[in-house]
A and B are shown apart, each in its own frame.
Chain A
Amino acid sequence: MAEQKDMVLEMENLNVKFVLEEETVEAVNGISLHMRTGETLGLVGETGAGKTTTALSILKLIDSPPGVLECDRMEVCGQDVLKMTTSELEHIRGSLVSMIFQDPMTSLNPVFTVGQQIAESLERHENLNKNDAWKKAEDMLELVGIPRERAIEYPHQFSGGMKQRVIIAIALACSPRLLIADEPTTALDVTIQAQILHLMKELKEKRNTSVIMITHDLGIVAETCDRVAVMYAGRIIETGNLDEVFNHTKHPYTEGLFNSLPNIKKRKHKLQPIHGLMPDPTNLPKGCAFAPRCNYATEACKERRPELMGFGGTHQAACLAYEQAGFHIERGKTNG
């Protein structure tokens, strides 16, 4: 039970489908996530891998219809999200779990002042009156590095990085246990990216918040995360702690991701992008979803879907190739 109390998120076998008139999009297929207090999990994958859908599912913010959410178990801080009524859900959103969205330009309501937008969740979750909520909103602004006088200004008066700071202030206003950051820096300049990441890390450590960092940028993961989960076509194909996944990569797709990163040390080294495209989520292959793009694929890969298997410690990967004794990927060979 003590261990249970420590768990911020327990999610077993999440499936999300979007049932449209013509077709069904299988966005998330059997994902399980477990997070402890203070932990930062990097959720990595290409666009369309189902990262955002997974994140939204935690808040049950999937539009339904057309979205259909099925899950064996989903608990946030020991509370069963699946059984919650709408109003109970609304109570944990923003207070237990908050979210930072990808594009700060469009994530703020243009007709309310930033102060109002921060104070709103304070009023709602912390039972503060208008004045106190406003004061605390100003405090939050200061916390994210914006002068408190600017609380009366509107989003259009802020730059992109400042907006993202405001969004972080909104997300952290009610001291959530779990913060989901959906590509929080993608839309920002590189210099601003570093500032924002630094800010997030600082605040997270101060408040001991758990973070799910959704990104396609392995660099960010390396900088900020304790654990990594790599997603492909709605599944987790490799997961483990930073060292396990980065230094002992098991899955060919993860390998592909690393190979497609530019290497500053070896400038002459050619980039090796993963050839092909992600499979159509409305028509996933029977076997391994990565098989068509995989250099190591065998006939078996096209027939059978691999399950996650352990590689010692927390490290797990889903690849049939390891059924053959002695198989290793190239990166594994050179690195370690």
Chain B
Amino acid sequence: MHRYIIKRLLLMIPVIIGVSFLVFFIMDLAPGDAVDLMAPEGATAEDLMAIRHDLGLDQPVVIRYIRYMGGMLHGDMGISYVSKTDVFDTYMQKLPATIKLSFASILVSVLLSVPLGIYSATRQGTIQDNISMVLAMIGLSMPNFWLGLLLIIAFSLHIHLFPSGGDQTLSAIVLPALTIGTGLMATLTRTTRSSMLDVLKQEYLRTARAKGIPEKTVVMSHALRNALIPIITIIGTQLAGVLGGSVLTETVFAWPGVGRLIVDSLNMRDTPLVTGSIIMTTILLSIVLLLVDLLYAVVDPRIKAQYIIKRGRKKRG
């Protein structure tokens, strides 16, 4: 198992190199550079050249990339062109807000979708099933941007229950989490439903029922645990997705997360900040996906056995 984890962690290195390379060069190919945007309106061409030289932007992109990666080796992710702050610090400043919002959103999504999916599956083909699936689809079909505004207008402007945005108060997380959560709902509900339908057909549930296990326990314990693998997969992917930052929701709710940081710095062509943020996000996602894989083993003993068998084979080989 440890070997497996170490292998997965080592695999992140080529991924990081690849990602940083792509980001760096795409940023270079995109029209516009940070200097034009940072300079005051009155700047002359000489001013711009001075700033470029200051930032090292007058060097060819390959040199800049090699320098950047050299810094990375020492754990230095560079300095933001625009704010002149350390990229790692800047990213870490925004990360807690994003993590908070991500988990809150996933919580909303799970709390709504899993029961709804189970309910649907146990009533397959009935009108309740159809209504549940439509409910779940509504979440997906409403653009986050628009849903966010609707929620603000309803819960903030009219009934003053939650603030319209920011992260100053604890309750401020409710509306953005609802916005993202309902957006994730459709996929998770459908996955839960189809996975449960699959499991509900299994004969071991008949065994459980024949043992006299109450239907609730049969569904919630015997069936659900078997249906968890696809559900966990989706939750993991969704978590990875929102950890990368939910730009639109963060924008509507003025949520100071990494999504907005990346987009803002992208708009400013702040290459070190964009590259650094994306590398950090990549690392984060790899870790989340690894944790999901490990969770499979916890949920399903057969998968755990596979991990162990793999290791065994390696040893023999």
- Please give the residue numbers on chain A whose beta carbons come within 8 Å of chain B beta carbons, in ascending order: 59, 61, 86-87, 90-95, 98-99, 101, 103, 106-112, 120-121, 124-125, 154, 156-157, 167, 170-171
Contacts and interface: CB of A to CB of B under 8 A. Distances in A.
A120 B225 contact: no
Given A90-B212, A90-B213, A121-B212, A167 B207 contact: yes
A101 B203 contact: yes
Interface stretch (B41-49, B250-258, B295-303): B295-303
Contacts of B301: 110-111, 154, 156
Given A109-B226, A111-B300, A154-B302, A124 B207 contact: no
A124 B221 CA distance: 15
B317 interface: no
5 contacts: A61-B210, A94-B210, A101-B207, A167-B207, A170-B211
A250 to B, nearest CB: 34
Contacts of A61: 206, 209-210
Contacts of B312: none
A93 B213 CA distance: 8
Nearest to A121: B211
B202 interface: yes
A239 to B, nearest CB: 25
Contacts, number: 80
B213 A124 contact: yes
Given A121-B212, A124-B211, 20 more contacts: A59-B210, A91-B212, A93-B209, A93-B210, A94-B210, A99-B210, A101-B207, A108-B204, A109-B204, A109-B222, A109-B225, A110-B300, A110-B301, A111-B225, A111-B299, A112-B225, A120-B211, A125-B212, A156-B301, A170-B211
Interface in B185-226: 202-215, 222, 225-226
B291 interface: no
A204 B115 CA distance: 43
B302 A87 contact: no
A98 B215 contact: no
B204 A95 contact: no
A109 B202 CA distance: 9
A44 to B, nearest CB: 22
A313 to B, nearest CB: 34
Nearest to B225: A111
Interface string B18-40: 00000000000000000000000
A171 B209 CA distance: 12
A107 B210 CA distance: 11
A170 B302 CA distance: 21
Contact of B204 (A94, A107, A121): A107
A98 B206 contact: no
Nearest to A106: B203
Nearest to B221: A112
B305 interface: yes
B207 A170 contact: yes
A61 B212 CA distance: 10
Given A109-B222, A110-B204, A90 B214 contact: yes
A109 B211 CA distance: 12
A61 B210 CA distance: 8
Nearest to B200: A63
Nearest to B305: A156
Contacts of B299: 111
B297 to A, nearest CB: 12
Interface string B65-102: 00000000000000000000000000000000000000
A109 B208 contact: yes
A94 B212 contact: yes
Contacts of B213: 90, 94, 120-121, 124
A110 B299 CA distance: 10
Contact of B207 (A86, A87, A107, A157): A107
A92 B210 CA distance: 9
A22 to B, nearest CB: 14
Nearest to B299: A111
B100 to A, nearest CB: 32
Contacts of B212: 90-95, 121, 124-125
Contacts of A99: 207, 210
B125 to A, nearest CB: 9
B305 A94 contact: no
Nearest to B209: A61
A156 B302 contact: yes
Contacts of A157: 305
A68 B242 CA distance: 48
Contacts of A94: 210-213
A108 to B, nearest CB: 6
Contact of A103 (B203, B214, B215): B203
Interface in B216-254: 222, 225-226
A146 B203 CA distance: 23
A167 to B, nearest CB: 7
A112 B305 CA distance: 14
Contacts of B208: 109, 120
Residue from A106, A111, A154, A157 having most chain B Cβ neighbours under 10 A:
A111
A125 B205 CA distance: 18
Nearest to A111: B225
A120 B214 CA distance: 11
A121 B207 CA distance: 11
B308 to A, nearest CB: 12
Contacts of A90: 212-215
B207 A110 contact: no
B211 A93 contact: yes
Nearest to A122: B211
Contact of B211 (A98, A111, A156): A98
